[in-house]
């Protein structure tokens, strides 16, 4: 099959992003990185190659629920992961159209892959059958003996560190996956291809194409991406909100219900914490306030779940390549006492904004009995957001 001319091959891609991320403490593929989840940078690089006709994005069932509908599209099939990496590769491969000439398999935890590296791997695979992107080993290697001493210092010049993408003519990969169908422990599929007798070419890649495995890798990836995107600027935004406390409504704060005899009155669910936090993020981006997109006069937003407002703000941030560095939220309430609910509210705030827990802080103050807040007639909220913006990503006037 050809597209856009007689010489362009049709390429399928499998992006494996179904791992559990045990070394990171949580699945690493959806950690935020310069305004996009880690694996979406990889997806973007493949979609930037017009010869890639279909990407099978292999996700865990949980992430299919959270992100599947948003990520699936004409060129993207969202596919459930298998029990092992090879199971995931098989599921992804099965979702590609049979007409593709080559298949590139990529690790969703390598966000710094570029279209140039993808093309180099695919071209080598079409020429030779199979190709693995690798970099020459930089460190002196030691082989350890069982007693923990050095058994041997091999010649470093002969060693390469394998990365992804790894690309294959379609038939070569199909053959390896079917002949070694029971293979569970392989850490990459090229070792199965080697076992079929097929030579695997080495394509020199880039040391930037790191795998995000441990927390410090995220710092490195962020530094590489930021330099590609241009010098980022950090901005601070402030948000404020107040709602009246009335009988007969649930008290929603930071996306969770806090037990109380009253709740916040509002056209929406009245969640002052989410409203203030959203306004703070919009403020940092120079992007107005939540009432512009969600006017209280609009009947469509009656009873609105404020998490939808957060989604809207996150979409705006992603479109600008803006990354929320930190949210600090201060509630002011005489009643109920909010301290017992700090943990739940802060966890929910982090989840709503898809931030690591360490990037949010939530606290509450009483109003010392003063004024309407002090009389328990209202709850107010202040929020400060620190947001990193890609250069040129500041909203136009």
For Mg ion, the binding residues (CB under 5 A) are 241, 275
Q: Identify which of residues 119 and 267 has a Cβ nearer to Mg ion in the complex.
A: 267
The least distance separating Mg ion from the CB of residue 63, rounded to whole angstroms, comes to 31
The least distance separating Mg ion from the CB of residue 321, rounded to whole angstroms, comes to 27
Dihedral (CA of 311, 317, 320, 324) sign = negative
The least distance separating Mg ion from the CB of residue 267, rounded to whole angstroms, comes to 8
Q: Identify which of residues 109 and 252 has a Cβ nearer to Mg ion in the complex.
A: 252
Q: Identify which of residues 241 and 287 has a Cβ nearer to Mg ion in the complex.
A: 241
Q: Identify which of residues 296 and 340 has a Cβ nearer to Mg ion in the complex.
A: 296
The least distance separating Mg ion from the CB of residue 292, rounded to whole angstroms, comes to 13
The least distance separating Mg ion from the CB of residue 246, rounded to whole angstroms, comes to 14
The least distance separating Mg ion from the CB of residue 354, rounded to whole angstroms, comes to 21
Q: Identify which of residues 275 and 320 has a Cβ nearer to Mg ion in the complex.
A: 275
- Cα–Cα distance, 82 to 15 (Å, whole number): 13
| Residue 112 contacts residue 14 (beta carbons within 8 Å) | no
Q: Identify which of residues 180 and 301 has a Cβ nearer to Mg ion in the complex.
A: 301
Task: Provide the β-strand partners of residue 239.
Answer: 383
SS3 at position 77: strand
Estimate the share of the chain in helix, then strand, then coil, as percent rounded to the nearest 5: 35, 30, 35
Q: Identify which of residues 135 and 242 has a Cβ nearer to Mg ion in the complex.
A: 242
Nearest to 44 by CA among 115, 131, 105: 115
Q: Which residue is nearest to Mg ion (CB)?
A: 275
State residue 326 phi and psi, 5-degree precision. -160, 145
Q: Identify which of residues 175 and 257 has a Cβ nearer to Mg ion in the complex.
A: 257
- Between helices 85-94 and 170-179, what is the axis angle to 10°? 130
The least distance separating Mg ion from the CB of residue 279, rounded to whole angstroms, comes to 9
The least distance separating Mg ion from the CB of residue 247, rounded to whole angstroms, comes to 19
**DSSP strands (E only) in the chain:** 11-17, 32-33, 36-37, 52-59, 76-80, 102-107, 130-136, 143-144, 150-152, 160-169, 201-204, 233-247, 251-253, 256-258, 262-264, 323-332, 360-365, 378-389
Q: Identify which of residues 174 and 265 has a Cβ nearer to Mg ion in the complex.
A: 265
The least distance separating Mg ion from the CB of residue 389, rounded to whole angstroms, comes to 25
Look at phi and psi of residue 144 and say left if phi exceeds 0, alpha if psi is from -120 to 50, else beta.
beta
Query: Do strands 143-144 and 150-152 pair parallel, antiparallel, or not at all (unpaired)?
Result: antiparallel
Nearest to 309 by CA among 359, 385, 254, 356: 254
Q: Is 303 exposed, middle or buried (0-12, 13-18, 19+ CB in 10 A)?
A: exposed
- Residues with Cβ within 8 Å of residue 305, at least 6 apart in sequence: 268, 269
The CA-based dihedral angle spanning residues 353, 355, 360, 362, taken in that order and rounded to the nearest 10 degrees:
40
């Amino acid at each position: 099959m050809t597209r856009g001319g007689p010489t362009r091959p049709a390429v399928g891609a499998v992006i494996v992003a179904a791992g559990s991320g045990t070394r990171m403490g949580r699945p690493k593929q959806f950690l935020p990185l310069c305004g996009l989840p880690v694996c979406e940078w990889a997806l973007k690089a493949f979609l930037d190659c017009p010869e890639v006709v279909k990407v099978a994005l292999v996700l865990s069932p949980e992430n299919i629920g959270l992100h599947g509908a948003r990520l699936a599209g004409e060129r993207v099939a969202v596919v459930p992961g298998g029990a092992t990496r090879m199971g995931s590769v098989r599921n992804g491969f099965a979702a590609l159209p049979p007409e593709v000439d080559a298949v590139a398999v990529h690790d969703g935890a390598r966000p710094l892959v570029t279209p140039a590296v993808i093309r180099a791997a695919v071209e080598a695979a079409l020429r030779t059958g199979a190709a693995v992107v690798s970099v020459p080993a930089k460190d002196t290697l030691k082989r350890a003996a069982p007693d923990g001493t050095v058994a041997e210092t091999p010649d470093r010049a002969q060693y390469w560190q394998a990365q992804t993408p790894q690309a294959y003519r379609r038939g070569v990969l199909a053959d390896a996956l079917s002949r070694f169908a029971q293979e569970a422990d392989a850490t990459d599929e090229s070792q199965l291809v080697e076992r079929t007798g097929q030579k695997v070419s080495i394509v020199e890649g880039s040391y930037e194409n790191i795998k995000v495995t441990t927390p410090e890798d995220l710092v490195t990836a962020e530094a590489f991406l930021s330099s590609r995107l241009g010098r980022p600027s950090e901005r601070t935004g402030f948000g404020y909100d107040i709602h009246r406390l009335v009988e007969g409504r649930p008290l929603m704060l930071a996306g969770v219900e806090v037990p109380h005899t009253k709740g916040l009155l509002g056209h929406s669910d009245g969640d002052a914490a989410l409203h203030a936090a959203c306004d703070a993020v919009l403020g940092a981006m120079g992007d107005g306030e939540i009432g512009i997109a969600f006017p209280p006069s609009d009947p469509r937003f009656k009873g609105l779940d404020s998490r939808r407002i957060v989604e809207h703000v996150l979409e705006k941030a992603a479109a600008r390549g803006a990354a929320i560095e930190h949210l600090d939220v201060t509630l002011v309430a005489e009643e109920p006492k909010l301290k017992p609910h700090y943990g739940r509210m802060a966890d929910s705030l982090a989840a709503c904004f898809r931030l690591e827990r360490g990037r949010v802080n939530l606290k509450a103050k009483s109003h010392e009995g003063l004024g309407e807040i002090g009389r328990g007639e209202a709850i107010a909220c202040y929020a400060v957001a620190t947001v990193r913006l890609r250069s040129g990503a500041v909203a136009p006037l």
